[in-house]
Structure 1
Amino acid sequence: MTQFWIYAALLLFAALMLLLWPVLRGRKDQAEEDRTALNIALYEEHIAELEAQHANGALSADQLKEGRLEADRELLDDTDVGRPKQSVNLGNALPLIAALLVPIAGLGLYLHWGASEKVELTLSLAEQPKTVEEMIKRLEDTVRLQPESVDAWYFLGRTYMSEQRPKEAAHAYEKTIELVGRQPDLLGQWAQALYFANGNKWTAELQSLLDEALSQDPNEATSLGLLGIAAFEDKRFQDAIDAWTQLSKSLDPQDPSYQAIQTGIERARSSLAETPQASAEANASQDTATAEPAPATVSDYKLLVDVTISDEVLKQAAATDTVFVFARAESGPPMPLAAKRLTVADLPASIALTDEDSLLPQLKLSSIGRVKLQASVSSSGDAMQAQWSSESILIDATEEGVKHPLRIDQKN
């Protein structure tokens, strides 16, 4: 931005020189005219003196004539008679007034119609952002200055979702759809953001959005995944199985999300088998009394986490503020797989996340290879409205016995 103002100042200086040149040139011409007038006055005085000497008899006629010729030659040498005198004087005030008004008017017009903010934004975009917050700030500046930028709105929505800000993400996806139309993948991501922003509550609006998306693309991944989650939480296990089975058909078996979806399907099938209707059907088909069910096995999987808080955050947070420690899959559903709730007074603390802490019964923490760990502090008790958080770290969840440190020291 400094370079821009330097160039602007140089152009302004050039404009001022063009305006002030007549004034400067006029002063030079005036000095030359004054010198010419003095030379003429001296010439006339010299001629008068020669004539007086001739009248007194001191000079002959030839001497007077020769004196006149000598005086004429001297006058011609000292006077530029080839340039006509200026007959029109525009004055010095007008160029000076214009020289003062040009920079003032130019600056005012540029501040009103110029694009200094866009220039500054363009220069900042040339540099790689150092933090997620800096990237979000640049995207927010881009959509504010260039509201028709589809890419900026879309990536802003994705970034908001990755930072657990679904309400803002829903707005960004809505603006993207307004610009490019109701494409199925965008409808699915919009519905997903609205679902989490609404506290995981299903609404007719969400159903309508997913119906529209799947009518255009029956294999739209985000829509199928969200349908399965909503159906599972509503204990419609067969609907969840159907949605996730359809989704798994379009995934590469090597994709980390594929195994997560398969785990969800198996969990839904197990839950379906335990429903009263399924139990009644099983009892009717058996000729003998059912055997007592075997006790469910409990996984001994533990993901160890050490949670600390910086002194700066500790001074601002209350001892009763809620601390959330959660794990999310590296890829796949953006919602946490497992979480634990503490208070600021409990910190520092060493905890273990297990399959029993799962927020999504269809996805076991032990079944996910790589997860993102993060801790946050919320004064309202709402994880989506946290004021401080730790850096999100990516770990290999299969490495048991390793303690993973999280330090809450960043303001959201």
Structure 2
Amino acid sequence: MIDFWLAAGLLLLVALSFLLIPVLRGRRAQLEADRTALNVALYQERVAELAEEREEGVLSDAQLESGRAEAARELLADTEGAQEVRVSRLGKPLPILAAVLVPVLGLGLYLHFGASDKVELSREFAQAPTSMQDMTQRLERAVAAQPDSPEGLYFLGRTYMTQNRPADAAKLFERTIALAGRQPELLGQWAQARYFANGKRWSDELQALTDEALKADPKEVTSLGLLGIAAFESERYQDAIDNWTRLLELLPANDTSRSALEGGIKRASDKLLASGGSVKAAPALASEARMKVRVELAASLKARVKADDSVFIFARASSGPPMPLAVKRVTVADLPIEVELSDSDAMMPQLKLSKFPEVQLVARVSRAGQPTKGEWIGRSQPLASSTTALQHVVIDTPEP
């Protein structure tokens, strides 16, 4: 911040110069006026002395006039170059008062409305942290400077969890949910933090949180892992196996946590067998939604489109967010074409075909290459997202 305050000080000096220079000039002009008045008084005194000497007969008329002319020349020489005194209507105290109040007022306003703390944080985050403690302190300052930022609250909560501070993390996740809404991932993180802050004691409130998260997203990994941990701690080994197995199916093949998860499943299986029970196969996850559609261009439009015009084929929820759930892009030259839309084509992970019971298939020709706006469009009737039969969409309607 040193360079910031140096720049601010330089600007302050410039501002003060505009206020104080007129005052200093006024003082100089006043000195010049005082000197001129003194010269005039001396001139008048000299002329009076010459007149007295003429009356006394010491000087002749010619000498009197010569003396007056000499005194006048001396007065002119002394006053030459003096400027006319400007009288300020504002008065002298006002600029000085302003010179004092402007920086004080400016500093006060900046400290109240300014963002020096955010500037400093931006400078800090531009550099790599030296330690986990350094990162934690930066996040804490960021949250203090922006208490309504769900991103800052979330990341600080995750950091507290890695430092075994679940109670602090739970408070931050609760604030994050209040700002960002009850998203499945946030509900899972909140439930997990509360579980560990509660001394690994399960409760109806935690069950409700995980149920809500998995109802919105059956593949919410934090909730699945937490349910497995809670079941294992309460010796419900089959429930632990079921939840951990579902979680294992969701993790990438190269995920480093797979080995620990597989070890947990084996321990739960061994304990279940040792207690005289038998291990049952975990219920399968809901299958990925896949919809096949054949897109054609109406014969009446073939002469009005270009081969390289973009064609966007997508599915969107009949009742839900307006953004597409799955998208494919081709060109007019590719038509007619058969494509498959699935969860893997989702634009956002939380908006997938399998999460919405009813969707509509849409195909749009857009010369500008914009998926949300084009020249011609075709739509299907509302369909169940589990539909597997081939659907047909004809692009035949001009868009307004």
- TM-score, with normalisation over the residues of structure 2? 0.61
Q: Which residue in 2 is equivalent to 1:45?
A: 45
Aligned-pair distance for 1:160?
A: 0.8
Instruction: Name the residue aligned to 1:250.
Output: 250
In the other structure, the counterpart of 2:5 is 5
C-alpha separation in 1, matches of 2:91 and 2:214: 79
CA contact (8 A) 2:29 2:85 kept: no
Q: Distance in 2 between matches of 1:252 and 1:235?
A: 28
Could you tell me how far apart the structure 2 residues matched to 1:206 and 1:120 are?
Answer: 39
Deviation at 1:59, TM superposition (A): 5.5
Give yes or no for contact 2:228–2:240 (8 Å, CA) kept in 1. Answer: yes
The structure 1 segments of at least 4 consecutive aligned residues displaced by more than 6 Å after TM superposition are none
1:27 aligns to what? 27
1:162 and 2:152 equivalent? Answer: no
Residue 171 (1) aligns with residue 171 (2): yes
1:92 Cα offset (Å): 4.1
- Size of the alignment, in residue pairs? 279
Contact 2:29 2:83 in 1 (8 A): no
- Provide Cα deviations, 1:86-107, integer angstroms capped at 9, x if missing partner: 4567654444444444444444
Farther off after superposition, 147-156 or 91-100:
91-100
Match for residue 225 of structure 2? 225
Between 252-261 and 180-189, report the one with greater CA deviation.
Answer: 252-261
CA distance in 1, matches of 2:90, 2:254: 85
Seen in structure 2, the aligned counterparts of structure 1 residues 237 and 59 have a Cα distance that, compared at 3 Å, is: same
Aligned equivalents of 2:42, 2:138: Cα separation in 1: 77
Distance 1:88 1:149 in 2: 52
1:51-130 aligned at under 5 Å gives the runs 51-52=51-52, 54-55=54-55, 61=61, 64-80=64-80, 83-86=83-86, 92-130=92-130
Matches within 5 A, 1:401-412: none
Matching of residues 122-201 of structure 1 within 5 Å: 122-201=122-201
Alignment check: 8 A CA contact 1:173 1:190 kept: yes
Deviations 1:120-142 (A, max 9, x none): 43443344332222221221111
What is the Cα deviation at residue 168 of structure 1? 1.1
Cα offsets for 1:124-164 (capped at 9, x unmatched):
33443322222212211111110122222111111111111
C-alpha separation in 1, matches of 2:160 and 2:88:
70
C-alpha contact (below 8 Å) 2:136/2:156 kept by paired residues: yes
**8 Å contact from structure 1 (residues 253, 259) kept in 2:** no
* Distance in 1 separating the partners of 2:233 and 2:36: 104
**Cα–Cα, structure 1 residues 7 and 85, in superposed 2: closer, same or farther, change >3 Å?**
closer
Within a 5 Å distance, the mapping from 1:252-401 to structure 2 comes to: 252-276=252-276, 278=278
Specify whether residues 95 and 87 from structure 1 end up closer, same or farther in structure 2 by C-alpha distance, changes over 3 A only: closer
Which consecutive residues of structure 1, in runs of 5 or more, have no partner in the other structure? 280-412
- CA gap 1:259/1:277 in 2 versus in 1, 3 angstroms: closer
Does the 8 Å contact 1:184/1:214 carry over to 2?
A: yes
Maintained 8 Å contact 2:195/2:201: yes
Aligned to 1:18: 18
State the AA in 1 paired with 2:268. A
Q: Deviations over 1:178-198 (max 9, x none)?
A: 222222222212211111111
Change (3 A) 1:123 1:24: same
Distance 1:17 1:146 in 2: 37
Q: Which moved more, 1:23-32 or 1:41-50?
A: 41-50
User: Structure 2: 5+ residue runs without aligned partners?
Assistant: 280-400
| Identity %, equivalent residues | 56
Aligned partners of 2:273, 2:185: CA distance in 1, in Å?
33
**1:302-357 Cα distance to aligned partner (Å, 9 max, x none):** xxxxxxxxxxxxxxxxxxxxxxxxxxxxxxxxxxxxxxxxxxxxxxxxxxxxxxxx
Q: TM-score, normalising length from structure 1? A: 0.59
Distance in 2 separating the partners of 1:88 and 1:270: 97
